[in-house]
Amino acid sequence: MRRDDIRRYVPDPAGGLTGFDASVREAMRDAPRDTGPRTLVAVTAATVASAALGSLATTPGAEWYRRLDLPPWQPPPAAFPVVWTALYADIIAASTATLTGLNREGRADEAAAYRRALAVNLVLNTAWSAIFWRGRRLGLAAAEAAVLAASSADLARRAGARSPARGRALAPYAVWCAFAAVLSAEIARRNRPS
């Protein structure tokens, strides 16, 4: 840092030397901004909103639900909040990492497509609760759960195309949604109007 004998061979540039701070600012001027924190906030807000709206629609203590003929292999009611909380956290982590990676690489079209797929998935996720619990439309809820399962598998596929580890991280969500579709279909079958 203190030796400057190179100046005997290489003259200073026109306008003089550039200081360290100015050099860093100049080098970073065209660098893409880190969208990770903003993406985390957006994905978390959307996922929490979906979970909250779904919870508001859910009424497992309702009399009509207690009268349903449920399959013996249905998980106990206490399992659902635990599983869904873990899955929502999983959606937030994997989706944030996927979107941040795509944005850093300048793959804006792929990031936009993933955001749309995530938005559709969260809407489907919330809609199932409204259709099943509020609408009491068991057959429609089963069909909607199948669409949700396909959407969840697509989300895992999209994340996996970016990073196989992120695709594997979202796989439990897709598997749970597929299980929920089978469970919904069985409940609808057992409770068809006579």
pTM of the predicted structure, to 2 decimals: 0.82
Decide if 140 is inside a domain: yes
Decide if 103 is inside a domain: yes
Q: What is the pLDDT of residue 31?
A: 62
Decide if 19 is inside a domain: no
Decide if 13 is inside a domain: no
Domain with 62, as residue range(s), is: 36-190
Decide if 31 is inside a domain: no
State pLDDT tens for residues 30-43.
Answer: 766 667 889 999 99
Q: What is the pLDDT of residue 134?
A: 95
Q: What is the pLDDT of residue 1?
A: 55
Decide if 9 is inside a domain: no
State pLDDT tens for residues 120-133.
Answer: 999 999 999 999 99
3-state DSSP of the chain: CCCCHHHHCCCCCCCCCCCHHHHHHHHHCCCCCCCHHHHHHHHHHHHHHHHHHHHHHCCCCCHHHHCCCCCCCCCCCCHHHHHHHHHHHHHHHHHHHHHHHHHHCCCHHHHHHHHHHHHHHHHHHHHHHHHHHHCCCHHHHHHHHHHHHHHHHHHHHHHHHHCHHHHHHHHHHHHHHHHHHHHHHHHHHHCCCC
- CATH number of domain containing 58: 1.20.1260.100
Q: What is the pLDDT of residue 42?
A: 96
State pLDDT tens for residues 150-163.
Answer: 999 999 999 999 89
The structural domain count of the chain equals 1
Decide if 155 is inside a domain: yes
Q: What is the pLDDT of residue 32?
A: 61
Decide if 92 is inside a domain: yes
Regions of the chain where pLDDT drops below 50: none
